Amino acid sequence: MAGILVCGTSSDAGKSLVVTGLCRALRRRGVDVAPYKAQNMSNNSMVCADGAEIGRAQYLQALAARVEPTSAMNPVLLKPGTDRRSFVVLRGRPAGTLEAGEYATGRRQLAEAAYAAYDELASAHKIVVCEGAGSPGEINLRAGDYVNLGLARAKSLPVVLVGDIDRGGQLASIFGHWAIVDDADRSCFAGYVINKFRGDVAVLEPGLSELSRRTGLPCLGVLPWLDGVWLDGEDALELARWRAHGAGVAASGSEVLRVAVVAFPRTSNATDVDALAHEAGVDVVVTRDPVRVRDADLVVLPGSRSTLDDLAWLRDSGIAAEVSARAAAGRPVLGICGGYQMLAREIGDEAGVESAAAAGAGRMTPGLGLLPVRVSFGIEKILGRPRGTWRGHEVVGYEIHHGICDLAAGTAEPFLDGCRVGSVWGTLWHGAMENDAFRRAWLTEIAGAAGSAWRPRDGVPGFADRREAMIDTLADAVEAHLDLDALLALAR
The residues that are catalytic are 337, 430
- Residue 78 identity (one-letter amino acid): L
Q: How many angstroms separate the Cα of 402 from the Cα of each of 46, 352, 368, 388, 463?
A: 15, 11, 19, 21, 28
CB-based contact 26:71 (threshold 8 Å) = no
Burial code (b: 16+ CB inside 10 Å, e: under 16) for 372-395 equals bbbbbbeeeeebebbebebeeeeb
CB atoms within 10 A of CB 485: 9
Q: How far is it, in rounded angstroms, from Cα 365 to Cα 166? A: 45
Q: What are phi and psi of 175, to 5 degrees?
A: -60, -40
Q: How many angstroms separate the Cα of 232 from the Cα of each of 1, 14, 283, 425?
A: 29, 12, 18, 25
HSE (side-chain half, CA atoms, 13 Å) at 120: 16
Question: If you count them, how many residues does the chain have?
Answer: 492
- Residue 110 identity (one-letter amino acid): L
CB-based contact 39:78 (threshold 8 Å) = yes
Q: 3-state class of 86 per DSSP?
A: strand
Q: How far is it, in rounded angstroms, from Cα 166 to Cα 263? A: 25
Kind and range of the H or E run holding 484: helix 484-491
